[in-house]
Amino acid sequence: MKVGLLLLGLLSIAFAIPTEEKWQVPQKDGTKKWMTESELERLLAEETEKPIPEDDGIIYYLYTRNNPTEPQVLKLDDKKTLASSFFSTNYHTKVIIHGWLGDTESVLTKLIEPFVNQNGVWNNVIFVDWSKYAMTLNYAGARLKVPMVGRQVAKFLDQLHQFGGMSFNKLTVIGHSLGTHVVGFAGKSVELGKIHTIYGLDPTDVLFDSKKPYQRLNSTDAEYVETIHTNGQWLGFLHPIGQASFYPNWGKSQPGCEKDLSGYCSHARCVDFFVEAIQMGEGNQFIPTECADYQDVKKKKGCTLKTSGVKMFDTANHKRVSGMFYLPTKAEAPWGEGVFYEK
């Protein structure tokens, strides 16, 4: 009897102690290593004490209809280069930020051409190359640089406003994977305005906590934050972290990616969806139904509430959309299914 009571007491103590968050952190060679929350917090604290180098290594490539394929290089604290560039205060500004292992050949470069040639809209398209920090042998090294890079991007955005006349109301910032959290820190750190729209394309959840919005992309980092989840619980968040969160094919894996052992096919598919949405314009066929709550998403059922005029990536979403949305897509382009709930 005493032994039974002792075991019961030990079990109650064990269950009362919260387990520490742990992540399997990807390495460049494809392997993974475990990291605990306390290890991450220690490394982040050490990182914040390091001074930002005079040359931070972040490069800003500007594309417009005047230079659609040959970018102009803009720099932080360089008013003369900005003034002599094709950057226009009359255009909308789209800022694109890649993720881990990304550079000027990142999957996000797919967005440059459709944004430059967007029907009826003239854009300053700026591709942010932070490969100096993103091209690291292990993901954790890049993760530790996210706050610093985000703050530097925020300074750049403030200077575009101050010296280039950029309107924050015409500013959209897009990030993919780890880059979504760079975008989040940029949104938290701008001082001269507030980013109008942020798109988080399959935000990574590795070394990020849904309960710590100050360390990741959050719904308050812009006037409107839309997240698209395509590889949740593998390389990306499944938990909704935007004002509006869209779950193509329930947000975990995507049609056409059946042999996707690494998860990258599904992780990158959201970029293909975005390209199609830009090219389709008002003909965008990513039409969802609404979910009552997050449990609908996790259980892969429900989400049958009809929406009126809501489309994933619709530029009018900021006026009217919040909540969680489900939509199926095809296994190949064109990806959009259209009004599937009327079939």
Residues 6+ apart with CB under 8 A from 307: 287, 288, 289, 290, 325
> Counting Cβ atoms within 10 Å, is residue 191 exposed (0-12), middle (13-18) or buried (19+)?
exposed
CA contacts within 13 A on the Cβ side of 160: 34
Q: Which of 56, 129, 202, 296 is catalytic?
A: 202
Catalytic status, residue 29:
no
Q: Which two tokens stand for residue 168?
A: 């924050």
| Active-site option among 161, 176, 229, 267 | 267
Clarify whether 239 is annotated catalytic.
Answer: no
From the list 173, 297, 293, 171, the residue with the least C-alpha distance to 229 is 297
Contact present, 274 and 246 (Cβ < 8 Å): no
Cβ 142 vs Cβ 63: under 8 Å: no
User: Which of 106, 177, 219, 253 is an active site residue?
Assistant: 177
Number of residues assigned to the chain: 343
Cβ distance 230 to 267 under 8 Å? yes
Alpha-carbon span 16 to 30, nearest angstrom: 36
Tokens linked to 57? 């290594």
For residue 221, indicate whether it is catalytic.
Answer: no
The pair of structure tokens assigned to 235 is: 């390389």
d(CA 23, CA 38) in angstroms, rounded, equals: 11
Catalytic residues: 177, 202, 267
